[in-house]
Amino acid sequence: MKNNLMILGFTVLVTLFYWYVGQQVPQKEDHPPKELEFRPDMTTEELVEIGKQIFEGKGTCKNCHGLPGGRFPNLDNIGAIAGTRKPGYTDVEYLAESLYEPNAYIVEGFAPGMPEIAKPPIGLSDQEILAVIAYLQSRGGTPTVTLDTKLKWQSSTPAATATPTPPAPPPTPAVASGEALDGPALMQKYLCLTCHNVDNPAPLVGPSLYDVGKRLTKAQLYEAILDPDATIAEGFPGGLMKTTLEGVGFYDQLTTKQLQTLVDYLASRKGEQ
């Protein structure tokens, strides 16, 4: 009888724990992103203003490049120096490549890892990227970009239309529809590997997760994902992980099952090859 009561009590505790975890995952309530209207006659100055909005919002650029401490390239004066960064490149070409193919040229002293923002989950359009370039030019330089500016990285879609830019498409699943994603696929889908190493102990933008299963319990892993600022790893900035995850729609898309899969995967990372 005593054993049965102990088993019942344990079952209730486990059920309550997973109920609590499920409550921490935001319930999905779809709100389409605010559309940005691009007109064919839009001035460079107007592009700069829209670019600033994208830089600080949808593009999630400010999450990394707006922090002190030198962990990311400082963009305060990028408009003045962009044209000198890469031989043979104009300022516009350098900024465009940095956005479309961010790992093609790495500023000395910094590690690769920035995602291609023209692809999901960020998914900026060619027009939005032109606006970001105009804004970056304005930081220490003179913006020259217009919606007629042609870049070799652009898609074949016409540069300017009179209709609003449609919302970015949702991230492409790594597996067939209806099939469960495993831990590595979820890490890829939500851009976790942009900031965290899982295959070696070297830190990137964030601490390495190579042996995180040795260092943190499952309860601590749940907290680290759902409330990243509750405990900040020494030497890393607060606020970055949460704002980045919010920016890529992590909390809107994550299901309870995916959360459990992520935690189980991270708990398995013990530092062994």
Give me the residue spans of the domains in the chain: 26-169, 171-267
Q: For the whole prediction, is pTM greater than 0.95?
A: no
Cα 243 to Cα 229: distance, rounded to the nearest angstrom: 10
Tell me yes or no: is domain 26-169 CATH 1.10.760.10: yes
Query: For residue 238, what pLDDT is reported?
Result: 80
pLDDT in tens, the chain (273 residues): 555 555 555 555 555 555 555 555 554 444 445 568 899 999 999 999 999 999 988 888 887 786 555 567 889 899 999 999 999 999 999 999 999 999 899 888 887 778 888 988 788 999 999 999 999 999 999 999 999 999 999 986 444 443 344 444 444 444 444 456 899 999 988 888 888 989 999 888 789 999 999 999 999 999 999 999 889 888 887 887 887 888 778 888 889 999 999 999 999 999 876
CB 3 within 8 A of CB 123: no
Whether residue 121 is preceded by a cis peptide bond, meaning omega within 30 degrees of 0, is yes
CB 227 within 8 A of CB 150: no
- Cβ neighbours for 10, distance < 8 A, ≥ 6 positions apart: none
CATH topology match: 26-169 vs 171-267: yes
Cα 66 to Cα 75: distance, rounded to the nearest angstrom: 8
- CATH homologous superfamily of 171-267: Cytochrome c-like domain (1.10.760.10)
Cα 264 to Cα 273: distance, rounded to the nearest angstrom: 17
Cα 58 to Cα 35: distance, rounded to the nearest angstrom: 11
